Chain A
Amino acid sequence: MIILESIDVSFDEQPILQDVHLKIADKERLVLLGSSGSGKTTVLKLIAGFVTPDRGKVFIDGQLASEEGKILMPPHQRDVSMVFQDLALWPHMNVAKNIAFGLKIQGMPKKEREKKVHDILSMVGLEDAGKKRIEQLSGGEKQRVALARSLVLSPKVLLMDEPLSSLDPALNVRLRTQIVKLQEELGFTLVYVTHNEAEAKEIATRVVSMQKGKIVE
């Protein structure tokens, strides 16, 4: 369970989020819907621990994770993973290395790592892409690699920031269903950001709308 309590965030004195309250239950699929600049990415980064609130508190599973001007729980302790808006795949590593990175940091032996990477790649339908360089991938493939990189760590919470916005409509629709299926299989909590209402309806078990830094359900 993630709780955001009376959150204010500002950058350069400019208010970005104002008095945001949000409760996210375990295993739900919450969609944050809002136009560009409404503060959706900022909410995700707040949950991940990259943005510090000016006011308010963030709780993760009952523990105080951030409060006024402080990040108490660093990102890697939150059991949260994020698929970034620009995907943020590491250009100097191939697909398999991108996915294996977190496992390697955990100290998982190479054999085990390779097996896990293989499994997750087939789960997202990219069995043969392991050796490819990132710039050789199409938009949809990159998208799925980013998803695989997050999922391989079996996070409790997955944050996805407009993951499908750059894809053509057909692929967009196909991947939506895949994401829902994966979530049901693996049972993580999904916080999904989009500005596309159809996408929101299809994915969400609950939709929350944002406007100018405020939540307007």
Chain B
Amino acid sequence: MKERTLFGGVVAFLFVVGALPLLMMLFGSLYDNGRFTLTAYKVLFTNTALLESLKNSFLLALTVATASTSVGIGLGILLGKSDLRFAKFFTLMLVIPLVIPPYILAFSWADLFGEWFFGFWGVVFVLFTVYLPIAILVTMLYLRQIDPHLEEAALQMSSWKKVLWLVTLPLIRPAIVFAFLLVFILAFGEFSVANFLRYPVFSTQSFVYFSAFYDFRAATAAALPIVAVVAMVFWMQRFLAETKMHFIPASLMQKIRLLKWRLPLFLFVLLIVMLFVITPLSMLVFKTNSMESFLEAGEKALDPLGRSLLFAMLGATLLSVFGFLSAYIIHKRLFRWYRWLDGSILLLFALPASLFGIALILFWNRPYTNFIYATPLILLIGYLGKYLALTTKITETKLVQIPQNLMDAAALSGASWYHTLWYIILPLSKEVLLVGWVVGFIFSLRENTMTMLLYPPGSDTLPVYIFTQMANGKASLIAALCLIMITATLLPLLFLWLYNTARRRDA
């Protein structure tokens, strides 16, 4: 088969999964009984609650992004570029809030602080701890790409304090912008924390519109301001495209020697880990308080957990396969319009999950597509569309590092494109495929906004089950369920870490 035929098929499939439902929803909002009309869009000017929620979302996202980015860059430099003790362990700990469902943290903190935690600052605090790891990881990623000579040259003239300020920070400026935009977009679309802490934001309000009034046209119209977010995504993409991923081996990287600051900074990071990670988790353990509530939770969680794991594994597999395929298309620029594919994948990631969920309902809820809509297939489609950006970008970081000559050499040996794909590119991408799988697994597992909208009767997942319990369940039971959920999330991460350490020892 021709390369472009096969990959054209892949794109067509992805178009149906992601773009088509959104386009249909957009057109649906513009037509009433077959006539073009903008009436649905009046809601944007008349509905003050919705407008208010939009403003709230904006302020919230701005605050969270500012806080996470500024703290995250500092921590990223400490953890990724200094001789801080236990830096790897701390990094791993700090990532935990990102990978578990965020409302679990909201639940735990609210339980600790009580009523006054509800509202704007509570949401800001929880989302800050949730997205802090993104800023840390992005900073670390960019630090790994600084040519050590640049810093070495400056270090001959001046101390680290100045070099950091005058050389290192300017070099990772793209990381700062990128982390800020990413956190902004994610915080803008986050649903479950604001919902739990009863703070009206855009994604909760548009959800209400849909589920309470079943007025999808209004919901779509209300989403129009997201166009601003979209514009930002494309802007963000430019930063991504401009950054060539060339990783410097960790051994060559210039590390900051903290000297007399080593102990105080160690204690400082320890304190942060204790506060942001250990505290909420111990709260849950404390709250569970008895083996019995744990056993009860185990019994109740068994079915939803089984489904969660199954869906997450299938989702992860789809995500890692299609992430690879789309990264291949984008990297090789197989089609002249490859940027559209890239942009759409990022857009789906940036859109609030509730919106995509609604689009999927409108698109698939028809008698002849019930084999998808009324089965867990709809969830897999949701996960694939929503998180494809993650695995695509992860794979791309590897593809840009495979020298063109390796592929040209294969071509000269008589390899056609699929030989090269199968024997050269795929084996060289094995590790990122695994990383992509784990990331896909974690994000499919923790998803609950779309899942809540889409799950077929009797197929609720553990996050959805916990979420419904939160409305009226026993606190001890909920805490125990949360612990089970956290364990299920962290296990694959632990495996990946062990695998990595073992592999490094081998090499």
Contact = CB atoms under 8 A, between A and B. Distances in A.
A101 interface: yes
A90 B411 contact: no
A106 B416 CA distance: 11
Contacts of A50: 408, 411
10 contacts: A74-B411, A75-B411, A76-B413, A82-B409, A84-B405, A86-B403, A101-B415, A101-B423, A102-B415, A105-B413
B51 interface: no
Instruction: Name, among A50, A74, A86, A150, the residue most crowded by chain B CB atoms within 10 Å (CB to CB).
Output: A50
B398 to A, nearest CB: 12
A76 B414 contact: yes
Interface in B381-427: 403, 405-406, 408-416, 419, 423-424, 427
Q: Secondary structure of the A side of the interface?
A: mixed
Interface of A: 45, 48, 50, 74-76, 80-82, 84-86, 88, 90-92, 101-102, 105-106, 149-150, 153
Nearest to A101: B413
Contacts of A84: 405, 408-409
A101 B412 CA distance: 11
Contacts, number: 57
B413 A88 contact: no
A161 to B, nearest CB: 10
Query: Top 7 A-B pairs ranked by shortest CB distance?
Result: A102-B413, A88-B405, A88-B409, A76-B414, A75-B411, A105-B414, A84-B405
Contact of B414 (A48, A91, A92, A102): A102
A163 B412 CA distance: 17
A75 B411 CA distance: 6
B4 to A, nearest CB: 15
A84 B423 CA distance: 19
A88 B414 contact: no
A149 B413 contact: yes
A150 to B, nearest CB: 8
A105 B410 CA distance: 10
Nearest to A161: B405
Contact of B427 (A82, A92, A153): A92
Contact of A90 (B412, B414, B424): B424
B411 A76 contact: yes
A100 B414 CA distance: 12
B419 A105 contact: yes
B110 interface: no
Given A88-B403, A92-B427, A153 B414 contact: yes
Interface string B425-442: 001100000000000000
B428 A91 contact: yes
Contact of A88 (B406, B415, B416, B423): B406
A48 B427 CA distance: 25
A106 B403 CA distance: 24
B442 to A, nearest CB: 27
Given A76-B413, A76-B414, A88 B424 contact: no
B230 to A, nearest CB: 30
A86 B424 CA distance: 17
A74 B410 CA distance: 12
Given A88-B406, A92-B427, A48 B413 contact: no
A50 B412 CA distance: 10
A48 B412 contact: yes
B408 A88 contact: yes
Nearest to A45: B408
A82 B403 contact: no
A50 B486 CA distance: 51
Given A86-B405, A92-B427, A92-B428, A80 B415 contact: no
A90 B406 CA distance: 6
A153 B408 contact: no
Contacts of B410: 90, 101
A105 B419 CA distance: 8
A106 B414 CA distance: 7
Contacts of B409: 82, 84, 88, 90, 149
Contacts of B427: 92
Given A88-B403, A91-B428, A75 B412 contact: yes
Contacts of A86: 403, 405
Given A88-B403, A92-B427, A92-B428, A76 B408 contact: no
Contacts of B412: 48, 75-76, 80-82, 102, 150
B504 to A, nearest CB: 14
Given A85-B405, A90-B424, 10 more contacts: A45-B408, A80-B412, A81-B412, A84-B409, A86-B405, A88-B405, A88-B408, A90-B406, A101-B413, A149-B409
A149 B415 CA distance: 14
Contacts of A92: 427-428
A76 B406 contact: no
A85 B409 CA distance: 11
A80 B411 CA distance: 11
A88 B406 CA distance: 5
A45 B409 CA distance: 11
Most chain B CB inside 10 Å of its own CB: which residue of A91, A105, A153: A105
B423 A48 contact: no
B270 to A, nearest CB: 38
Contacts of A85: 405
Nearest to A88: B405
B362 to A, nearest CB: 45
Interface string B235-250: 0000000000000000
